Amino acid sequence: MINLFPLARPFVHSMDPEAAHNFTIGMLKRGVTGCFLMGADDPILATEVFGMSFTNPVGLAAGFDKNADAVMGAQKMGFGFTEAGTVTPKPQTGNDKPRLFRLKEDRAVINRFGFNNEGLAYFEKQLRSLPGVRKPIGANVGANKDAEDRTADYVSGIKQLYGLSDYFTVNISSPNTPGLRALQSRAALEDLIGRVLEAREEKIKTGAGYVPILVKIAPDLLEADIADIAGVATSTKIDGLIVSNTTIERPEALKSSHKSEGGGLSGAPLMAPSTKILGEIYKATEGKVPLIGVGGIASGADAYAKIRAGASLVQLYSMLVYDGPALVARVKADLAHLLKADGFTRIADAVGTGHP
């Protein structure tokens, strides 16, 4: 593989972080990833989850491509699947700038974007323009900041985009929309999931196919929250959970001058806490609900740790800021090596094996 990111990094990092991000999306829209001659995925990485086939389990997490502008470019980076969004029904500008910070010394990021996006109509148009042959894509839906009935916003997203993505993510865990995380409490979650699943039933009755619906949760959960979420996940027909979003915690060890910025922290310091919650959710759901592990993945060993904690698939975002697109190939190669070294012939057999 030829990787140009090390040459481009000083230039990209000399830009304001949000401008650098927009620059990257612009390049990906043109199909430019900065990496060439990437090989095919090792067959040991192929897996089936949610009734879908993946050539590898490493996905792009939500928030990188909020408007589904660069889906095919992002897929060229070697991901097994990509998730676009969060999209809200109406376009919204999000919080004031600056709202994205690099914590270089900590290999971390803080963002407080607040669901800036072009809205459902634009997102729908982008999905409709995609070619039929591609890796699985997820549509991550959210609620507008000023919505009176937030649940209705999730339902609108699913109805409008139904059939255009391979799965949906109901994002109730962004720390940057005030009150959003309250939807994780048992009663609110049951109501939300009930209405979302009703919308899917209506679509299925009209002849549309079955589209899996996942719920994305925060890492900042208490034991009681975990029990509630696991209870709802096992007693309803949701298809899986994504664990986790960014954290509002600020670990003591953070060194960067930006560490006290408000918003969600992601990247290396999120690896341990998000994997811990992932393991707890796996145990609380007795391995019956497929999980996507996300938070701080910077290596094949990190991805493997999430799989052993209970993830059937993984996602990453923040470490791309530091390591560039070659990270994806490295994570995949190292993960394949680790699986083989432990005698596994397929990922599914390794899921949850970290638990006694």
Ligand X SMILES: Cc1cc2nc3c(=O)[nH]c(=O)nc-3n(C[C@H](O)[C@H](O)[C@H](O)COP(=O)(O)O)c2cc1C
Compute the Cα dihedral for 150, 154, 159, 161 and give only its sign: positive
Q: With binding defined as CB under 6 A, does residue 55 bind ligand X?
A: no
The torsion angle over the Cα atoms of residues 48, 328, 346 and 139, rounded to 10 degrees, is -10
Residues belonging to the active site? 174
Kindly tell me which residue out of 172, 297, 311, 331 binds ligand X, with binding defined by CB under 6 A. Answer: 297
Least distance to ligand X, CB of residue 94, Å: 10
Which among 107-115, 150-158, 192-200, 300-308 is the span making contact with ligand X, rule CB under 6 A? 107-115
Residue 171 corresponds to which tokens in the numbers above? 């994002």
Residue 147 contacts residue 153 (beta carbons within 8 Å):
yes
Q: State the DSSP string of 252-307.
A: TT--STTTT-SSEEEEGGGHHHHHHHHHHHHHHTTT-S-EEEES---SHHHHHHHH
Binding mask 301-320 for ligand X (x = CB under 6 A): ---------------xxxx-
Q: With binding defined as CB under 6 A, does residue 113 bind ligand X?
A: yes
Q: With binding defined as CB under 6 A, does residue 102 bind ligand X?
A: no
Kindly tell me which residue out of 58, 270, 328, 351 binds ligand X, with binding defined by CB under 6 A. Answer: 270
Residue 184 contacts residue 221 (beta carbons within 8 Å):
yes
The span from the CA of 68 to the CA of 305, in Å, is 29
Q: Which is nearer to ligand X, 316 or 335 (CB)?
A: 316
Q: With binding defined as CB under 6 A, does residue 140 bind ligand X?
A: yes
Q: With binding defined as CB under 6 A, does residue 100 bind ligand X?
A: yes
The span from the CA of 293 to the CA of 276, in Å, is 10
Least distance to ligand X, CB of residue 59, Å: 10
Count of residues of this chain found to bind ligand X when the rule CB under 6 A is applied: 26
Which among 122-130, 152-160, 195-203, 291-299 is the span making contact with ligand X, rule CB under 6 A? 291-299
Least distance to ligand X, CB of residue 21, Å: 7
Query: Which segments of the chain are extended strands (E)?
Result: 2-3, 35-36, 47-49, 52-54, 58-60, 81-87, 100-103, 108-111, 137-141, 167-171, 213-217, 240-243, 264-267, 291-294, 313-316
Least distance to ligand X, CB of residue 285, Å: 19
Residue 176 contacts residue 263 (beta carbons within 8 Å):
yes
The span from the CA of 160 to the CA of 55, in Å, is 28
Q: Which amino acid is at 27?
A: M
The torsion angle over the Cα atoms of residues 35, 321, 21 and 296, rounded to 10 degrees, is 120
Place of tokens 């996300």: 294
Least distance to ligand X, CB of residue 176, Å: 8
Q: Which is nearer to ligand X, 89 or 296 (CB)?
A: 296
Q: With binding defined as CB under 6 A, does residue 111 bind ligand X?
A: yes
Binding mask 184-223 for ligand X (x = CB under 6 A): --------------------------------x-------
Kindly tell me which residue out of 151, 171, 285, 299 binds ligand X, with binding defined by CB under 6 A. Answer: 171
Q: Which is nearer to ligand X, 47 or 245 (CB)?
A: 245
Residue 35 corresponds to which tokens in the numbers above? 């990496």
The span from the CA of 215 to the CA of 144, in Å, is 17
Which among 37-45, 231-239, 251-259, 295-303 is the span making contact with ligand X, rule CB under 6 A? 295-303
Least distance to ligand X, CB of residue 216, Å: 5
Least distance to ligand X, CB of residue 117, Å: 8
Q: With binding defined as CB under 6 A, does residue 246 bind ligand X?
A: yes
Q: With binding defined as CB under 6 A, does residue 296 bind ligand X?
A: yes
Q: Which is nearer to ligand X, 91 or 346 (CB)?
A: 91
Residues that bind ligand X (CB under 6 A): 61-63, 66, 86, 100, 109, 111, 113, 140, 171, 174, 216, 245-246, 266-267, 270, 294-297, 316-319
